[in-house]
Every structure is written in C-alpha cells, then in structure tokens.
A and B are shown apart, each in its own frame.
Chain A
Amino acid sequence: MQLTERYEPAGQDVVAEEIDGEVVIVNLRNGNYYSLTQSATLIWAGIQEHASVVQIRERIAQRYRGETDAMNRDMDELIRALEGEQLIRRLPDSGAITPGAATVIEAAPAAGPVAYLPPIFESFTDMGDLLLLDPVHETEEEKGWPHAKGNA
C-alpha cells in the first residue's frame, strides 16, 4: 500500500457515526451495516478526514503500543476490506501529500499509548430489505459515482 494514498467514505450512501467507541456504518447501496471497534475506529476517523496512510499509521503508533509491522498489516487489511465492501474509495489525487489536506494531527493521548487493540470489522446483512427501502434521491454525486472496477 502506498503511504501517500488517501481514502474517503464512498459517497452519500455510506452513513456512519461513532457512538460509545463504536463506529456503526450503513451502506444504503446494498443494505448492509457494519461495526468497527478497537483500533478500527481510529482508522475510520483518519479516512473521514482524508488523512494519508502514513498519517493514519502515525496516529495508530501514537495511540497504541505494539509491533509496528503487525499494526501496519492490520490497517492495510482493514482498508482493503472497507474497499471491498464499497464503504471507502481511494481519492484520485493520491500520490502526493498536499499541505493542509489532512487536518488535525492528533496530539498523543495524555495517558500515553495503550496496548494494541487490533481493528475489529463486522458486517451484518439481516436488515437489508429494510435499509434498501430508504427512498433515494439521485444527486449529482451519485450520477458521478465512479465504479471501482479497476480495484476489484
């Protein structure tokens, strides 16, 4: 994975919120919903802010005490899984870190790093019919949705 790659949530059909340390995501395109916990919530927050892979790795290293290779691998795997579920897409101008593109550099937590908690990513398909019945308003963004065939 390129260190300068950046991602973002994949459009208006992907809705997420962090509640009590868990990120719950709904994908209105396919009716699935997902849970992200442990270090996955920090990775998701970075993606929402368009941080680069290297920047998110830094945040993980600041928050957690663990073996760097393992933490990086886990993060790469999570990003692939999120892409596979069409929850995130790569930003097209990846390849250069543009100044100011990622906003907040999170300060190291006051309590110091904690023992590493690998990302947990669960998916659920039991509410598909109900979620797919959300009425759809076609927006300019949806019209321009790039199909990620090349990344499959």
Chain B
Amino acid sequence: MSAIPVEISVIIPVHNGEKYLAQCIQSVLEQNHAALEMLVVDNASTDATAAIARKFPATRYFYLPRKGFVPALNHGVMNCQGSFLSFLDADDLWQPHKLAAQLDVFQRNPAVDFVFGHVEQFISPELEEPARSQLFIREKELPGHIRGAMLIRKESFWRVGLFDEATEYGDFIDWYMRAQEQGLQEVMLPDVLLLRRIHGANMGYLDPDRRIDYVRVLKRGLDRRRRLGKA
C-alpha cells in the first residue's frame, strides 16, 4: 500500500494487445507522475498481453473472461483509487506532458470537471501493404473528444456514471452526451496530448455494425434531451 494517496488512475482495457501494449504503458510511465496507478484490465487475451503487463511492476493487472470492452472499462473504474480518472486504449500513446498539462488546468480552476486535449491519428508505422493502403485518416489532428484524451475528477465522473454496457462502439458518445446533460464544465486544450494508432491488426472495430450503434446512441440522447426539455 503506497503511503502517497493515488492521485491519478489510468485505466487500460485490452484484448490481445501484445503488439502495442508495452509502448502504451511506457507512454504512461513517461508522464513521470509520482502518485499514479495503472490498471490493465485484460479482457480474456490469449496472446502475451498478461506477460507484458506483468513486466511493468507499476501496473495493477486484472483478468476478465471475455465479456466485452465496456465491461472491462467499467471494471477498471470500479477498482480504481485515484482522485482523477483517465483512460488509454492499449494501442494508443500519450504525449509526455499530457497529465501535467491537464492537472495544471484543474489546479488553476476548481470549477472544471474534465479536461481534454487534441488527438493526432497516425497509421502504425510497421504496417505493410495491402493493410496499409486500406486505411486512411480523414482528419489527422482534431479536438480529442475521446476517452484517451480525457482527465476527469472522480466526483465528476460519478455524476455521469459508468459507461453503458448496452452499447459497444458508441459508448463514449453516449457517456459524453450524458456528461453534457449533467452540465459538466469542460476545458479543451489546444495541444496534441493523445496519439491514436490506426492499424489493421485488429479490424474488429471496423465492423459495419458499429455505425448503427452510433445512430442508436444518438437517438437515445435526443430522446433524453426532449424529455428534459433541452431539445
């Protein structure tokens, strides 16, 4: 048990992430934050994910039989101890100053609930053809309204609640709409804080069904807004 209370929890859900997980964890360690915990929530990986996570003594490792991505996220949330929550996909990377830049905002403004930064998308450099030319990036850099670019106060997170396990791909859109309904105060930093890897190794996320999930999530959001009289 650490004598220093954990300030920041970093939740990293992963399924068969051996290819990029070490780089991901390294980018968190490079934040050089003394009071940080990393929770690697392994969603029934069958590759070397567990071995890689365990190579880093700073990680808290959890194994879940395959229940899906959102349950893994929520499992991390339920088990974290920090006064701030953050998330990182196992194939993405943080810029070294990500946490420092975001904490600075919180320190200077106690009314802020969550802080984001810009995200830069990149095609994973080791990819070869034909995978490489099947991927393109429509927007290289844009405001990162995405889980991996967020740092949020624990109390603020709980005003919104857990990610919805009835969603699969639209879970952050759903959560963010609910955050807006709660009136959470946001700051969006102009710097790139998250590097989001686009790769073909796991094409699961390119399932066409994901797009319908967005429609359903948005429909629920519209209905809630109308009920709340905010349409």
Contacts and interface: CB of A to CB of B under 8 A. Distances in A.
Contacts of B172: 130
A22 interface: yes
Interface in A125-142: 126-127, 129-138
A120 interface: no
B166 interface: no
A22 B219 contact: yes
B146 A134 contact: no
Nearest to A17: B215
B218 interface: yes
Q: Which size class do A's interface residues fall under?
A: 20 to 34
A137 B215 contact: no
Interface stretch (A24-32, A41-49, A51-59, A98-106): A24-32
Contacts, number: 80
Contact of A133 (B146, B177, B203, B218): B146
Most buried by A among B121, B172, B198, B222: B222
Interface in B166-213: 172-173, 176-177, 180, 196, 198, 203, 205-206, 208, 210-212
Given A15-B211, A15-B214, A136-B138, 18 more contacts: A19-B215, A19-B216, A19-B219, A26-B211, A130-B145, A130-B146, A131-B173, A132-B142, A133-B121, A133-B146, A134-B214, A135-B205, A135-B206, A136-B135, A137-B206, A138-B133, A138-B135, A138-B136
